[in-house]
Each structure stands twice: as structure tokens, then as C-alpha cells.
Amino acid sequence: MIELGPRHFFKLEGQNSAGLFEGLDHVWDALDMIGSFLKGILSSNVAEIRRQGDMTTRPWALWNGQAWADDLTITYGDATKGKLDVWRKGQRLEGAAVVSAGVFLMDDAIEIGPGALVEPGALIKGPALIGPCTEVRQGAYLRGNCLTGRGAVVGHVTEMKNTVMLDGAKAGHFAYLGDSLLGREVNLGAGTKLANLKILPGPIRIRVGEEIVAVDRRKFGAILGDDCQTGCNSVTSPGTLMGPRCLVAPNLTVPGGYHPPRTVLRGK
């Protein structure tokens, strides 16, 4: 039987989500635990912002447990590369996170890590943990049970729900991430959809070599190991598992099941 535990897909050392995967025989078991895991580790830092209203009307800086919206000078460099620069009253707030004007924060169970940037028009439901130096770009929709590592990108008009993105994972443009796990440095081409809803009732059936593994979930998106990449407008079927460094061609529908490391999926 092929090993299907978390470490077959991900290098977890140093990840803020590593505890989520401890002791799991099957990597997909983490999908049932994201919400409870987040509630156990979240340290909300948006309460002061939300006291002014659910939608921000001006930029806020989060730094060392403080939240400020006055006397800010912000240089909007690439947050994923540590180039977001914030000053207040002549003092550089090294590592400050920025929540832009026009962001909708739906509850207090949201933590935004150092150096992260949330752009205008993003909507975030808790529980959610936005990791350090992550960009949540314009129009992104985080529907709860969302966790990113360092330097991730939740892109323009990208929707994310019950999903973990490890360090450096990027879904830059028009993506859907439902009930999914993305490894380190995964990159989703524009328009990639990780479909998560099985049309017919009954368990998800995953072909692993010559065996079929039944997973009793109606919703199960994709598990993409470290360094996987998908081409633009590709779609993964519910219950897709890719080992590290798999490649998906553009405009391809990936069949559900297990795809070993370094598989190149081109279609027919």
C-alpha cells in the first residue's frame, strides 16, 4: 500500500500548521480538524479594527499587539518578499501588517501575521490565520477555516474555504480552493479550480495503484504536495491527490485519485 500520510506530501518542519498533521495516518483527515486547530492557536489581533465597524474605511497597521490607523505612511512593496514598509510618526514599524481600506472582517477570530497585506475588497470570515508576509489580494473571499503559512498568496477574486496553504503556496488569480491542502511552493495557474463537491451522494473513492480507498466525505477538494504546479484554467476533480512536484497542463481536468510524485498530467 502506498503511504498516504502527511509527510508523503509535505515537509512540515517549521510550518505553523505542523501540529494539525500530527499522528494522522491519512493526510485528508486534517480536513476535519482545521477549524478546531485554528481555534486552539489563534491570537486574534483585529478586535480593535472591528470596533470601528466590520468594513475598514482607512488603512490599519498591526504591530506588536497594537492597531493604528492614524499618521501612517505605507509603501506597498511585495509583502511576500518582506517589502511592505510602514512608518508612523517617524518610526519604522518593522514587520507591521497592513489591512487596507475596504476590507470586510466578519468576526474577531482572525489573526493577521507580521508583514502580511490584506488588500481592498477582501472579505474574511473566521476562524482564519493569515501567515507572515502573506498577500490577500483585492476581492479575495476567505470563507472560514482558512490557514496560510509564510509568503502565501490568496489572489485576486480567489475563494478559499476549509483549506491550508503551506509556506509559499500561491493561488494568484481567479482560483477556487475548497476543502484542500496545498504544500510548500505550490503554484496554481490563473483560473485553477480545486473542485470539492461530489455530485452524487456517497463516499469519495480514490484509486491508489490497484486499490480503491473510500473516504467518507461529500466534500473533498485536492491535496497538492510540495512544489506542484497547475496550468491556467485547470480543474481538479474531487478527491485528487498529487505527490510532490507534479505538473498539470493548462485547460486540463485532472481525474480524481492518487498521482505519484513528479507525475506530468497532460491529458490525451
CB atoms within 10 A of CB 19: 13
> Is-catalytic flag, 259?
no
Query: Which of these CATH numbers, 2.40.30, 2.160.10, 3.40.50, 2.40.160, describes 6-195?
Result: 2.160.10
Which one is catalytic: 8, 26, 156, 173? 173
DSSP 55: B
pTM given for the model: 0.96
Is the alpha carbon torsion for 43, 45, 48, 49 positive or negative?
negative
Closest CA to 112 of 179, 35, 49: 49
pLDDT at 194: 98
Regions of the chain where pLDDT drops below 70: 1, 268
Closest CA to 104 of 56, 161, 67: 56
Please tell me the distance from the alpha carbon of residue 205 to that of residue 217, in angstroms, as a whole number.
10
Q: Three-state DSSP class for 30? A: helix
Please tell me the distance from the alpha carbon of residue 186 to that of residue 207, in angstroms, as a whole number.
23
Domain ranges of the chain: 6-195
pLDDT at 198: 86
Tell me the pairing of strands 222-224 and 229-230: unpaired
pLDDT at 202: 82
pLDDT at 3: 84
**Contact at 8 Å (CB) between 74 and 63?**
no
pLDDT at 268: 67
For residue 161, what are the contacts with CB-CB under 8 A and spacing of at least 6? 142, 143, 144, 145, 146, 177, 178, 179, 196
pLDDT at 89: 94
**What letters, b where the CB count within 10 A reaches 16 and e where it falls short, cover 114-134?**
bbbbbbebbbbbbbbbbbbbb
CB atoms within 10 A of CB 220: 27
